[in-house]
Homo-oligomer: A and B are copies of this chain.
Amino acid sequence: MAIKIEKLLAIKFPIIQAPMAGGVTTTQLVAEVSNAGALGMIGAGYLTPSKAREQIREIKKQTQKPFGINLFIPEKFNVVEEKIEFAIDALSSLRHQLKLPPQKHIEFPSEQDLHETFEQHLQVVIEEQVPVCSFTFGIPSKEIIAELKKHKIFLIGTATTAEEAIENEKAGMDVVVVQGSEAGGHRGSFLDGNQEKLIGLMSLVPQVVDQVNIPVIAAGGIMDARGVKASMSLGAAGVQMGTAFLTCKESGANAIHKAAILSASAEDTIMTRSFSGKWARGIENQFTRQMKKYELLLPDFPLQNTLTQEIRKASASQRTSDYMSLWSGQSPELAKDQTARELIESIMGDVEKPGYDIYNDWG
């Protein structure tokens, strides 16, 4: 019998709202998800530590329920001048199309900067006693894990393959989110070559479940009761949903982004690293079509992310989806314009219909 994550996390429903970074996870979204019985999560990857602290305090005012925060693990990256120059050239015609001036000198974050931000984020998480902390793009050090555990913070790791899930378990994560190839946004991979593996949930969940003892949370393409039931059938203890919450009324995603998802087909998403330097799934647009031929030549994350920032912002302010990163999983046709509570209640209403027991021991 799978361990109930609701019990572990003190939530009502086995649903985690994916910690989408970049302004999607507003205070209103996180608090409302938690108030509705699921787990709201702050995507703090691009927040300053002081902004993160501020949001945590705001959320606490709006909910008594548990919620969580997600941090990016700082990774090594290579600064190759030639690749940066190449990317600037490749992006120049896109800047021109948006009437942006040519790229001037640009300040990139250093590995040191990322480490310092991460350390400060961790201090905030501990000081503010955030109940749940999840990680993407890697696993924190033994010392950090011990420190967080000492403060009774529940730890969630992210994996895209069985070997990454096993690493998460070994490191002491309480549960692991397995991200199927269907998932929108960045691949959470951290082992060499795993970003490109793209294993579908139908294959990933049972193979991971067979190899780890911690509860497994399925993520990728799950939008409604059907996906939740299917994930539980595969042996998952719960689900993490991104795109389904992104189009909710409380989400901070740009209205253009929401509209693009609501009108997209399953065939419209592609994998690209041209926005950030890391592989991610989103809806194909002018930007990804023009950058496609350069995919493998662009600099590492977060360098490419910094280089495309002005372009993405200009696209949003000029009200065109052509140059925005339109992150979406492979199920946009199941996305709805609704409140987070409506989403959660419609799922659990269906799941709990008589005759179906999601906690049945599948054996």
Say whether A182 faces chain B, with CB atoms less than 8 Å apart.
Answer: yes
A288 to chain B, nearest CB (A): 14
Q: How large is the interface on A (under 10, 10 to 19, 20 to 34, 35 or more residues)?
A: 35 or more
**Contact A197 B229, beta carbon cutoff 8 Å:** no
Contact pattern, A 149-167, Cβ under 8 Å of B = 1, otherwise 0: 0000000000001110000
Interface stretch of the complex, out of A86-94, A107-115, A217-225: A217-225
Distance, CA A192 to CA B154, complexed state (A): 47
Distance, CA A203 to CA B184, complexed state (A): 11
Say whether A64 faces chain B, with CB atoms less than 8 Å apart.
Answer: no
Say whether A302 faces chain B, with CB atoms less than 8 Å apart.
Answer: no
**Chain A interface main SS type:** loop
**Contact A201 B201, beta carbon cutoff 8 Å:** yes
Contact pattern, A 204-246, Cβ under 8 Å of B = 1, otherwise 0: 1111001100000010111111110111011100000000000
A181: contacting residue among B161, B198, B333, CB under 8 A: B198
Say whether A199 faces chain B, with CB atoms less than 8 Å apart.
Answer: yes
A163: contacting residue among B201, B204, B267, B334, CB under 8 A: B267
Given A200-B201, A225-B362, output 12 extra A-B contacts at Cβ < 8 Å. Answer: A162-B333, A182-B203, A197-B266, A200-B220, A202-B227, A202-B231, A203-B329, A204-B330, A207-B266, A230-B230, A230-B234, A356-B357
